[in-house]
Structure 1
Amino acid sequence: MATELISLQCLRPPHHIPRKFLNLSPPPSTLNLRPKPPLNPIFIRQLSQRHKTSHDDDGIPADDVKTLAKFKSRHNYIRVIQVSRKTNHPLAGSRLLLLDNPGNIHSISFLLKSLTDSYFDVFATLPPIIPHGPIGILGFGAGSTARLILELYPPEITVHGWELDPSVIDVGREFFGLSKLERDHKDRIFISIGDALNASVKSGFSGILVDLFSKGSVIKELQDPKVWESLKCRLRKRGRIMVNVGGRCVEAEDSERDGDLVMDETLKAMSLVFGDKLFVLMLGNGNDSSVALTGDLPDLDAWKKRLPRSELRSYVDMWRPYN
């Protein structure tokens, strides 16, 4: 009898995990974990019979993956899965939050380490290059980005998160340690339920992290320059926006929402607002997945010196002007 495997096909340096699709009920004979944002967004894709992986693939036995929660909320089909620490795989020991029917991974956490080897780590490089002030997280998920920022940086840095689905926050508190994070940093983390595109703070954001996906795709609003103009107006002077813009590893429910094309349209919309002050960090192989950054390119050496973990410094040299 063939062994059931979970296979990670797109994991190339720098570590990149796309937001693909995973169907856990009923389970396919193989599950394919293909890296999206750098890991990129994290994606999991459902495999058809003709796409099933072989024994030669870098896979995880299906027995090493456990479903902790599975239910439908008003906005999402929510699943939480746990990957065994004993398996030989980059995701060993991780807990993943999957949303929507495609099963996009919206949060990742490891029991024995803080960094995720994913685009969340790229997000965690933002604080040293923005002015003092609050950081907005649009698309909070279960709090992966917030956890990194709060644990790596000093107390004066605060995060304000927006999440549309209250059930996602509930899952974060129950399965991803969000309740403890809120207790440990009660004066530094503030979570709002609602449309993230309406996010604001009275004094303006020093930085905004955008990670907004729906049905396996960057939301359509982010291909509208007016939305970026609005977000830009909510920044303090010298503030910046960092965005998970997806890429070819993103596979949407709607076949017309090609990941590559959506990424291009999102970057084009941003360039109309930010001009030549727009940079892109590509993850995986070419534009498998990408993160965008606004503002002048910082002094790279100074940026590296201010990062709290050496593992984050490699990302600094990967930024390129958007062309």
Structure 2
Amino acid sequence: MRTSRFFLLLVVFLCGMTSMAIEMTASRLIGTFFGSPLPIWAILIGMVMIYLSLGYTLGGRLADRRPHASFLYGLVGVAAVATGLIPPLSRPLLGWAQEGLANVAAGLYIGALVGVLVLLSIPMVLLGCVSPFAIRLEMMAVDRAGRTSGSIYALSTVGSILGTLLPSFVTIPLWGVSLTFYAFSLLLLLVPLIGVPRWTTRLVFLLFLVGIGALALLFLSGLWRGWREPPPGTVLVDERESVYNYIQVYRDGDRIYLALNEGLAVHSYYSLTYGRTGNPFDLLSYGPWDIFLIAPYFAPDVPEGSFSSMCLIGSAAGTIPKQYGAVYGDRVQIDGVELDPEIVEVGRRYFRMGDEEARGVLRVYVQDGRYFLSTVPRRYDIVAVDAYRQPYIPFHLTTEEFFAQVRAHLKPNGVCAINVGHVVGDDRLVDAIAATMRRVFPSVYVIDLPGHTVTNSIVVATVRESSLADLDRNTARLEHPVLRHVVGYVRGHTRLWSGEGIVFTDDRAPVEHVVDQMILNYVQAR
């Protein structure tokens, strides 16, 4: 059995499956801290192709020197061990990435990315050795060379197809990134245990299997969890992985926070104090969410609460709907669009999002925001966009075509508002978004929030031509104390935009390039 043709072909299939599974799982691992824009995907795929190419070359040479199946199975065992070590060795590297992103330190950030890519080199190179090695072992006659090599590569490719699908639809959603690496590592470790004849070698790999199995059990036990700790002084309430995000919910006193992926930005929060008192002031964040409460008043002649509908793209765990429900009551119906169903479930469980759904204030749709707009006929008073995968905005939610789609779904006196994160003092992304919106809307405004290194600006556009005088007239008539309070602390930070910037289109929207340049310029200026 150990040297049979069937077992050899099974190994080819398993290694093809595992090589692609490592790539898919690594994309999630890297995407958690580095995002998943086009440049990151290009780097990952390019490095994997380099590693596999090296493996093909090395495998052919090793097969000619030592054409023994047991030697090949030993190489597979080493690849299995290297795969199982990716989660624990990645942990400090990803900590550097988080620190680099928090402090806008390009050296730490890039160094961490390089480190993670290097971790992938050993398993990918060794798995690349398998197909040419198997062809050499299977080669019985020259006149069958083409058929033999074609069959081997076809079998490996079929395995790769399964390796693409399993992590994406099964193992990562159910187990997460770490356990996915451990599972494929343990699976490959069976190869040398079965295929290597020397008992001493098998014993070594058995010890590795026990060790990696122990790491997996330690992870399952909760004694060692996740890729990052919650902020100091907080209590971790929930932690999970979805198809799209690494999710943490943590508590700081009476406030519940939602953090995603690298954990540097808060994506939703809820005040337990509000749950007891019902006081809307307890929901104020003094950040970008509050500004959406006054976005409708940028349009001409808008009395308090005279609007009735909002589409919120990127509703997360429901902070904005919670604030709207607290301030405006049941007068505003919100269609919340969220891509990640796990975030919606977290919102209902920990952030009382179900309260707004039960009152009829909120309807949640689990789908992409742009797809949602293309499939619903409704028109809204407000379309708000708060969709982020730090530090990038999804490019398809920033283009001229997208904002044209938004305008088509707005009522005659409607407004569009989008949250834009950027480095303090560098408005290139804000200017690009504003310039793009200006192609579609007659009046565009920017509200700049104060910050030290990274901050947010809310860009607001109106369907009808408007001015800051309209905002002043509308807000002067406001009676709700929360609205008056929000107006008070954004007064002086609001401007009518009249600058220049890149216009993003579906064909060309270099969001990642603009963000990367902002970070690079900040580092160079320090």
Q: Name the TM-score, length of structure 1 as normaliser.
A: 0.71
Question: Superposition RMSD on alpha carbons, in Å?
Answer: 3.2
Q: Which residue of 2 aligns with 1:196?
A: 369
Other structure's SS at 1:214 match: coil
The answer (yes or no) to whether the contact 1:164–1:196 under 8 Å persists in 2 is yes
The aligned residue for residue 45 of structure 2 is none
Q: CA deviation at 1:47?
A: 8.7
Query: Is residue 305 of structure 1 aligned with residue 305 of structure 2?
Result: no
Change (3 A) 1:120 1:172: same
Distance 1:65 1:156 in 2: 36
Whether contact under 8 Å (2:422, 2:455) holds in the other structure is yes
Distance in 1 of aligned mates of 2:445 and 2:337: 25
Match of 1:157 in 2: 332
Report if the CA contact (8 A) 1:222-1:266 is conserved. Answer: no
- Tell me if 1:266 matches 2:433: yes
Give the one of 81, 94, 101 matched to 2:250.
Answer: 81
The structure with the greater share of residues assigned to strand is 1
Q: Secondary structure at the match of 2:283?
A: coil
* d(CA) in 1 for partners of 2:285, 2:337: 21
Q: Distance in 2 between matches of 1:202 and 1:304?
A: 34
- For structure 1, list consecutive stretches of 5 or more residues without a partner in the other structure: 1-19, 33-43, 52-60, 86-92, 251-258
Letter in 2 for 1:231: V
**1:152 aligned counterpart, secondary structure:** helix
C-alpha spacing 1:28/1:74, structure 2 compared with 1 (3 Å):
closer
CA shift digits 1:140-182 (9 cap, x unpaired)? 0000000000110042211110000110000001111112332
**CA offset digits 1:11-63 (Å, max 9, x no partner):** xxxxxxxxx99xxx77969x98xxxxxxxxxxx83798x99xxxxxxxxx965
Indicate the residue corresponding to 2:408 in structure 1: 233
In structure 1, the residue matched to 2:446 is: 280
Q: 1:267 to 1:127 in 2, by over 3 A?
A: closer
| Counterparts in 2 of 1:62 and 1:120: CA distance versus 1, 3 Å | closer
Choose between structure 1 and 2: higher helix proportion. Answer: 2
Give, in angstroms, the shift of residue 103 of structure 1.
Answer: 4.6
Distance (Å, rounded) in 2 between the aligned partners of 1:203 and 1:284 = 35
> Relative contact order, CA 8 A, sep 6+: which one is greater?
1
Structure 1 position 45 matched with structure 2 position 219? no
Given the alignment of the two structures, is residue 174 of structure 1 paired with residue 322 of structure 2, yes or no?
A: no
* Matching of residues 91-240 of structure 1 within 5 Å: 93-101=254-262, 103-112=264-273, 113-128=282-297, 132-183=307-358, 185=359, 187-200=360-373, 201-240=376-415
TM-score with structure 2 setting the length:
0.45
Q: 2: CA distance between counterparts of 1:227 and 1:63?
A: 40
With over 3 angstroms needed to count, the CA separation of the structure-2 counterparts of 1:215 and 1:226, relative to structure 1, is same
Matched, 1:289 2:456: yes
1:94 is displaced (CA, Å) by: 2.5
Structure index of larger Rg: 2
Letter in 2 for 1:190: R
Cα distance change, pair 104–249 in 1 and its aligned pair in 2 (3 A): farther
Contact 2:321 2:361 in 1 (8 A): no
* Separation in 1, partners of 2:315, 2:286: 18
Structure 1 residue 213: Cα displacement: 1.1
1:114-151 CA-partner distances (Å, limit 9, x unpaired): 21111111011134556633111110000000000011
Secondary structure (helix, strand or coil) at the match of 1:116 reads: coil
CA shift for structure 1 position 108: 1.8
**Sequence identity of aligned pairs in percent?**
19
Unaligned runs of 5+ in 2: 1-32, 35-90, 109-229, 274-281, 499-526
Distance 2:420 2:447 in 1: 10
Matched pairs, number: 260
